[in-house]
Amino acid sequence: MRAAAHACVDGARAGVWWFNSILGGQDYQRYVDHLRRNHPGCEIPTEREYWRQRHADADRNPTNRCC
């Protein structure tokens, strides 16, 4: 019984991770890590500024969108 519950929890965590990665949930944190590692003097935008810029870039260059 315990093994089945553990498997269900693991499956749920995997599903949440997958869904989060599809929606780009970790993109901001990866961008911040990149800036800190490769551009230490660069100002780090807020998460709101990051997403605003990302959507503006996608609107200017819609090559990777389906619609």
Rounded to whole angstroms, the Cα distance separating 10 from 47 reads 29
Give the three-class secondary structure for 24.
coil
List the chain domain ranges.
Answer: 2-62
- pTM as predicted: 0.63
Q: Which pLDDT tens digit goes with each residue over 8-64? A: 888 888 887 787 777 777 899 999 999 999 999 999 999 999 999 999 998 888 776
Angle, alpha carbons 64-48-43 (nearest 5°): 100
**CA atoms within 13 A of residue 25's CA, in its CB half-sphere:** 8
Q: Calculate the dihedral angle through the C-alpha atoms of 30, 33, 38, 44, rounding to the nearest 10 degrees.
A: 100
Contact 20, 28 (CB under 8 A): no
